[in-house]
């Protein structure tokens, strides 16, 4: 069997049998397509061996691919090799005993400081014609649907720490307004709940849902665009980037930065990291622990309050 046919069959198998997110499957398909382009689409898979795989990864590393992307490509090739062997398409798993050293630099996530989040939200409220802290009315949403949708999406991401595809995926039937909770299906198809923490965001969400009902939309998603279709992740990224620039923020702002910011603010507020893990939907606590290294301002405050040197001097 040729490599391009094997790749297509493997991707179909992933879609049918593995509980992976569409994003992960697209990433694996892209990784295997890169391998196919280097090796040759019509290469017979029986001729593949570990040297082909290692040579490909070394080439990718030399080309400047990040360690994170290299690890993902290695994972895609490893799974592909196991599948080919399990399907009796090859006599031996070509990945067997293959090793390649890939560094694991621990990059700190980029988060917005509290005053910049406040500036962004203040700009969005002004653009939407909403007074700070005042209750949003149904007529506001109907008069300025673009501005109110952007404001609500950003507020929800800051308040709950959800990913961009999660916030645009909120369905009206999954919102429990009396309990101020939203049920969602996150990364890896893991179900969890997030919560609306105050009266303003809870009331805004309910008002927006009521306004949405008056428009007789033909889909179940909470957030919609000017064509009354579901808001997409790409559109939300674009809206956020433009709003941050218009608000005078110097760095490019992404939805994932809002997620990092939400986690950092919770850490600074003293919330237990295990609760933050559940809120963010992390499968492993080690993923959440990176936020304990982010909050320099909290660290500065704690060290200043402790004032070890001053205590020693006063004890003399």
Provide DSSP, 206-256: HHHHHHHHHTT-SS-BS-B-TTSSBPPHHHHHHHHHHHHHHTT-SS---HH
Residue 75: predicted pLDDT: 87
Q: Could you give the residue ranges of the DSSP H alpha helices within 88-137? A: 114-128
Does 259 qualify as catalytic in the annotation? yes
Whether residues 150 and 263 share a domain: the answer is: yes
The whole-number pLDDT of residue 25 equals: 87
Do 52 and 126 lie in one domain? The reply is no
How many domains does the chain fold into?
2
Kindly state the DSSP code that residue 171 receives in the 8-state scheme: B
Assign 203 a pLDDT band (cuts: 50, 70, 90). very high
pLDDT at 157: 93
CATH number of the domain where residue 272 is located: 1.10.443.10
Report the pLDDT value the prediction gives residue 172, as an integer from 0 to 100: 94
- Please give the pLDDT value at position 269: 77
81 with 145, same domain: the answer is: no
Question: How buried is residue 37: exposed, middle or buried, by Cβ count under 10 Å (0-12/13-18/19+)?
Answer: exposed
Is 256 annotated in the active site? Answer: yes
153 or 311, which is more confident: 153
Active-site annotation holds for 260: no
What is the overall mean pLDDT for the chain? Answer: 84
What's the pLDDT tens digit per position in 70-119? 888 888 888 998 999 899 898 888 877 666 666 555 565 678 888 899 99
82, 187, 192, 237: the catalytic one is: 187
pLDDT in tens, 148-202: 999 999 999 998 889 899 999 999 999 999 999 999 887 767 788 898 989 999 9
With respect to residue 95, please indicate whether it lies within any of the assigned structural domains.
no
Domain shared by 139 and 223, yes or no: yes
Residues 79 and 127 in one domain: no
- 149 with 296, same domain? yes
- Residues of the domain holding 191: 114-301
Longest dimension (CA), the chain: 81
Q: Are 144 and 266 part of one and the same domain?
A: yes
Q: Can you tell me the mean pLDDT for 302-315?
A: 58
The one catalytic residue in 163, 212, 239, 260 is 163
pLDDT at res. 300: 60
Confidence of residue 63 (pLDDT cuts 50, 70, 90): confident
Q: What does pTM read for this prediction?
A: 0.66
From the list 7, 239, 259, 260, the catalytic residue is: 259
Question: pLDDT-based confidence at 60, cuts 50/70/90?
Answer: confident
To the query of whether residue 242 is one of the catalytic residues in this protein, the response is: no
């Amino acid at each position: 069997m040729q490599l391009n046919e094997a790749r297509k069959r493997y991707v179909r198998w992933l879609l049918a049998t593995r509980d992976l997110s569409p994003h992960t499957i697209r990433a694996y398909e892209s990784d295997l397509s890169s391998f196919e382009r280097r090796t040759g689409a019509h290469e017979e898979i029986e001729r593949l061996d570990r040297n082909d795989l290692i040579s490909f990864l070394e080439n990718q590393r030399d080309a400047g691919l990040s360690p994170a992307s290299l690890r993902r490509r290695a994972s895609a090739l490893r799974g592909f090799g196991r599948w080919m062997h399990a399907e009796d398409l090859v006599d031996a798993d070509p990945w067997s005993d293959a090793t390649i050293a890939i560094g694991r630099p621990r990059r700190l996530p980029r988060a917005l400081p509290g005053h910049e989040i406040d500036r962004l939200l203040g700009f969005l409220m002004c653009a939407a014609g909403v007074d700070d802290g005042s209750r949003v009315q149904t007529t506001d949403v109907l008069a300025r649907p673009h501005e109110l949708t952007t404001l609500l999406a950003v507020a929800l991401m800051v308040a709950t720490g959800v990913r961009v595809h999660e916030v645009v995926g909120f369905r009206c039937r999954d919102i429990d307004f009396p309990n101020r909770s939203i049920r969602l299906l996150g990364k890896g198809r893991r179900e969890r709940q997030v919560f609306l923490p105050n009266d303003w965001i809870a009331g805004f969400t309910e008002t927006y849902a009521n306004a949405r009902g008056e428009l007789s939309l033909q889909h179940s998603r909470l957030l919609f665009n000017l064509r009354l279709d579901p808001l997409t992740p790409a559109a939300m990224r674009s809206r956020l980037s433009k709003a941050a620039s218009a608000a005078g923020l110097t760095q490019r702002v992404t939805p994932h930065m809002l997620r990092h910011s939400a986690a950092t603010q919770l850490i600074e507020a003293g919330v237990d990291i295990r609760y933050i893990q559940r809120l963010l939907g992390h499968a492993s606590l080690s993923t959440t622990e990176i936020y304990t290294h982010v909050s320099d301002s909290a660290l500065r405050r704690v060290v200043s309050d402790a004032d070890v040197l001053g205590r020693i001097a006063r004890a003399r």
